[in-house]
Amino acid sequence: MQETDLLDLSDEADYAASQQHGSTSMMRSDSDSGKRSSSSETDPAEVLFAKDNVAIHPTQFASERISGRLKLIKQGCSLFLTWIPYKGQSSNGRISEKDMSLYTIRAEPLVDVRSIRRHTPALGWQYIIIVLSSGLAHPPLYFYNGGVREFLATIKQHIFLVRSAEDANVFLVNDLQNPLQRTLSSLELPRVSLASGPSTSISAGESPLNDDQERADGSIHDANSSISQYSGRHRQKNHDPARDLSIHVLEKFSLVTKFARETTSQLFRENSNGFGALDRKSYNLSADEYSPKAANNAEKVSNAHPVASDPMEFDKLSLVWGKPRQPPLGHEAWATFLDSEGRIVDSKDFKKRIFYGGVEHKLRTKVWPFLLGYYAYDSTYAERAYLRSTKKSEYETIKFQWQSITPEQAKRFTKFRERKGLIEKDVVRTDRSLSFYDGDDNPNVNLLRDILLTYSFYNFDLGYCQGMSDLLSPILFIMEEESESFWCFVALMERLGPNFNRDQNGMHSQLFALSKLVELLDSPLHNYFKQNECLNYFFCFRWVLIQFKREFEYDKTMRLWEVFWTHYLSEHLHLYVCVAILKRYRNKIMGEQMDFDTLLKFINELSGHIELDSILRDAEALCICAGENGAASIPPGTPPSLPIDNGLLYPQQDEVL
């Protein structure tokens, strides 16, 4: 097939260059390693395509972008995609080796790719999003020097790539109309992984890359092989299938990050007690599905396979160690946290106290500005009073920017009219059943409108998006004062703003992390979602977007939020709450064979029926249980994490424009 059928390449100068590069960089794979199968070790790895300055943007900050080299590598009949960040980017201290390693794409077999979406904005860089068969996606890869076309053209030369009928910018990989045919075809393709035992992609990752000079971190390879050797030794010593299984699952999981790999090997050494043992226990339910022989193709072929073999066993784990919830923090206890000038001396202890009990309602107006990050914990009464007054005049200044728009000006200012219209439509239907917001001409509804409109000028790039009024409502309800509410909302949006990004990046990264956590903490449920093509976790969209605001009564939501805002065990406790709820209903979900539609309906209808305190205890237990593996499942920069640097010191630059 000619690549010009779909893609006109004649005007792309760098295409020729990349072709040249491809033809001259034949690479031999390392043939010393005895671990690989005979079929793969004799095949040379051939670089078909290489592109420099392909970057990911983990956060909105230019200083945190990670550049690297994208390659397509052919080995035998298999095509792999790699993206290796350049060395030395961590020297500026903002990107850690861990971050770089987390995002590295070591060797993604193209058979595991469902589609590639191309974005070619009129202004700014082209980027692609690679969506895997599992429904997960890699972060967008930005081509600073162009080259998306020849990247796709190169793929097209080697595998079946068709443009989606639904969207001209989506290219489907291996898309044959008949799903059975598709399954068979993916099985026919000889995969390096088939021959190399349970640690599928690790070996796939080793072979094409052994000679890779751009490798970000030389220790990665060593880490891989030490795990393989270690697990090999264990298997010889002890044929406990559960152990094999946990090794397999953890190895599989450890593909996510080098960091996870390190902690995995820790776990192997320590798994005779502690939560290593728990991990093993929780994984052994799916032993049948995961015996090494079956691991590669069983999932694809036997969709009819029932899910968990013994859900009851799983429930025995039922997370009894979340500490009992405490009564909320009251005035007397609050006073003990303050020194004579009003500083919170031990902020860690303070946050811990709120994590386990929340705050009494009347005290919230004092405590929330700290939790949200509007007040510094070590600020004094005087400093806060000063902050309030300067921030009040700053607020008035921003507010005046839209207040001063005359009707004549507004006629010629579509964006403003639209934005105001969106906000006005939403504030009148936000929590109107509460007495605080009910009735005609309620001044608090007008305050909601004014604050949201002012915010949309303060953060003009983000603007207004549905869901924001839900996030503001409890803050205004607690803070009451307009400027204070605004700045508390600003502080919250520093963390949750990415939930509302146009490209849905913030939501995708959280749902991705959620899928990784479920995989770690409930692999049968994960497999169920996988078999039913529910791995996109869109049924949890509302939970994540507005932090369970619609799932609990108003006062419960406030309790939950203040617990989240402590970031005591994790900044991402909300994801563990998602896992806790899903685990609670896992037997129902799997037992009733819910598909995506039914699942979304079920999840939406859970609203008002979730018992907050016990879910919080479960989430706490899950978070502790997941430990560093859990933390490593969540890519850095995933909301609600703050960007590594203070946004005021490194202002949001350019982005695409």
Partner 1 sequence: MGTIAHNSLNAKLVLLGDMGAGKSSLVLRFVKGQFLEFQESTIGAAFFSQTVAVKDATVKFEIWDTAGQERYHSLAPMYYRGAAAAIIVFDITSTDSFARAKKWVQELQKQGNPNMVMALAGNKSDLEDRRKVTAEEGRIYAEENGLFFMETSAKAAINVNDIFYEIARRLPRAQPAQNPAGMILVDRPVKGSLTASCCS
Does position 177 bind partner 1 by CB under 8 A?
Answer: yes
User: From the CB of 510, what's the least distance to partner 1, in Å?
Assistant: 13
3-state secondary structure 428-447: CCCCCCCCCCCCCCCHHHHH
User: From the CB of 353, what's the least distance to partner 1, in Å?
Assistant: 32
Which of the ranges 95-103, 255-263, 300-308, 420-428 carries the binding residues for partner 1, by CB under 8 A? 420-428
Query: Nearer Cβ to partner 1, position 473 or 483?
Result: 473
DSSP 275-297: HHHHHHHHHGGGHHHH-TTTTTT
User: From the CB of 596, what's the least distance to partner 1, in Å?
Assistant: 4
Do the Cβ atoms of 622 and 584 come closer than 8 Å?
no
Query: Nearer Cβ to partner 1, position 18 or 133?
Result: 133
Q: Whole-angstrom Cα distance, residue 502 to residue 512?
A: 17
The residue within the footprint of partner 1, chosen from 211, 288, 339, 533 (CB under 8 A), is: 533
Does position 538 bind partner 1 by CB under 8 A?
Answer: yes
What does the block give as tokens for 270? 């320590």
The residue within the footprint of partner 1, chosen from 38, 178, 236, 393 (CB under 8 A), is: 178
Do the Cβ atoms of 379 and 342 come closer than 8 Å?
yes
Binding to partner 1 (CB under 8 A): which residues in 540-579? 541-542, 545-546, 550
Query: Nearer Cβ to partner 1, position 164 or 446?
Result: 164
Query: Nearer Cβ to partner 1, position 402 or 541?
Result: 541
Does position 179 bind partner 1 by CB under 8 A?
Answer: yes
Neighbours of 603 (CB within 10 A): 22
Query: Nearer Cβ to partner 1, position 288 or 533?
Result: 533
Query: Nearer Cβ to partner 1, position 269 or 502?
Result: 502
Do the Cβ atoms of 471 and 549 come closer than 8 Å?
yes
- Residues 387-392: contacts with CB under 8 Å, at least 24 apart: 388/483, 388/484, 391/483, 391/484, 391/487, 392/483
- Residue showing tokens 């700053």: 394
Which of the ranges 173-181, 193-201, 213-221, 625-633 carries the binding residues for partner 1, by CB under 8 A? 173-181
Do the Cβ atoms of 321 and 624 come closer than 8 Å?
yes
The residue within the footprint of partner 1, chosen from 161, 227, 256, 534 (CB under 8 A), is: 534
The 8-class DSSP code of residue 30 comes to: P
Query: Nearer Cβ to partner 1, position 534 or 625?
Result: 534
Which residues have CB under 8 Å from 84's CB, separation 6+? Answer: 68, 69, 71, 104, 105, 106, 209, 212, 214, 215, 216
Number of residues that bind partner 1 (CB under 8 A): 42
**CA distances in angstroms from 7 to 115, 147, 536, listed in the order given:** 17, 12, 30
Neighbours of 630 (CB within 10 A): 25
Query: Nearer Cβ to partner 1, position 45 or 136?
Result: 136
Q: Whole-angstrom Cα distance, residue 112 to residue 80?
A: 10
Query: Nearer Cβ to partner 1, position 59 or 430?
Result: 430
Does position 182 bind partner 1 by CB under 8 A?
Answer: yes
Neighbours of 510 (CB within 10 A): 27
Residue 416 parent element (H or E):
helix 414-427
User: From the CB of 154, what's the least distance to partner 1, in Å?
Assistant: 24
Does position 597 bind partner 1 by CB under 8 A?
Answer: yes
Q: Whole-angstrom Cα distance, residue 550 to residue 605?
A: 10
The residue within the footprint of partner 1, chosen from 13, 122, 165, 304 (CB under 8 A), is: 165
Binding mask of the shown chain, residues 423 to 462, with x at each position contacting partner 1 by CB under 8 A: --xx-xxxxx------------------------------
Query: Nearer Cβ to partner 1, position 536 or 566?
Result: 536
**CA distances in angstroms from 242 to 69, 235, 267, listed in the order given:** 39, 11, 14
The residue within the footprint of partner 1, chosen from 175, 299, 360, 628 (CB under 8 A), is: 175
Q: How far is CA 223 from the centre of its chain?
A: 25
Q: How far is CA 284 from the centre of its chain?
A: 26
Q: Is the peptide bond before 327 cis (omega within 30 degrees of 0)?
A: no
Query: Nearer Cβ to partner 1, position 194 or 428?
Result: 428
Do the Cβ atoms of 68 and 99 come closer than 8 Å?
no
User: From the CB of 542, what's the least distance to partner 1, in Å?
Assistant: 4
Binding mask of the shown chain, residues 483 to 502, with x at each position contacting partner 1 by CB under 8 A: -----------------x-x
Q: Whole-angstrom Cα distance, residue 223 to residue 385?
A: 53
Query: Nearer Cβ to partner 1, position 191 or 508?
Result: 508
Query: Nearer Cβ to partner 1, position 24 or 433?
Result: 433
Query: Nearer Cβ to partner 1, position 74 or 542?
Result: 542
The residue within the footprint of partner 1, chosen from 595, 653, 655, 656 (CB under 8 A), is: 595
User: From the CB of 536, what's the least distance to partner 1, in Å?
Assistant: 8
Does position 596 bind partner 1 by CB under 8 A?
Answer: yes
Does position 13 bind partner 1 by CB under 8 A?
Answer: no
The residue within the footprint of partner 1, chosen from 33, 53, 504, 614 (CB under 8 A), is: 504
User: From the CB of 515, what's the least distance to partner 1, in Å?
Assistant: 15
Least Cα distance to 478 among 488, 468, 469 occurs for: 488
Q: What are phi and psi of 137, to 5 degrees?
A: -135, 145
Binding to partner 1 (CB under 8 A): which residues in 76-115? none
Query: Nearer Cβ to partner 1, position 324 or 443?
Result: 443
Query: Nearer Cβ to partner 1, position 19 or 501?
Result: 501
User: From the CB of 442, what's the least distance to partner 1, in Å?
Assistant: 11
The residue within the footprint of partner 1, chosen from 247, 422, 476, 573 (CB under 8 A), is: 422
Rg for the chain (alpha carbons), in Å?
26
**Which sign does the torsion angle of CA 553, 577, 94, 656 carry?**
negative
Binding to partner 1 (CB under 8 A): which residues in 462-481? 465-467, 469-470
Binding to partner 1 (CB under 8 A): which residues in 261-320? none
Q: Whole-angstrom Cα distance, residue 111 to residue 337?
A: 57
Do the Cβ atoms of 466 and 421 come closer than 8 Å?
no
Which of the ranges 296-304, 447-455, 569-577, 597-605 carries the binding residues for partner 1, by CB under 8 A? 597-605
Does position 164 bind partner 1 by CB under 8 A?
Answer: yes
Neighbours of 573 (CB within 10 A): 24
User: From the CB of 63, what's the least distance to partner 1, in Å?
Assistant: 27
Binding region for partner 1 (CB under 8 A): 164-167, 172, 175, 177-179, 182, 421-422, 425-426, 428-432, 465-467, 469-470, 500, 502, 504, 532-534, 538, 541-542, 545-546, 550, 595-597, 600-601, 604
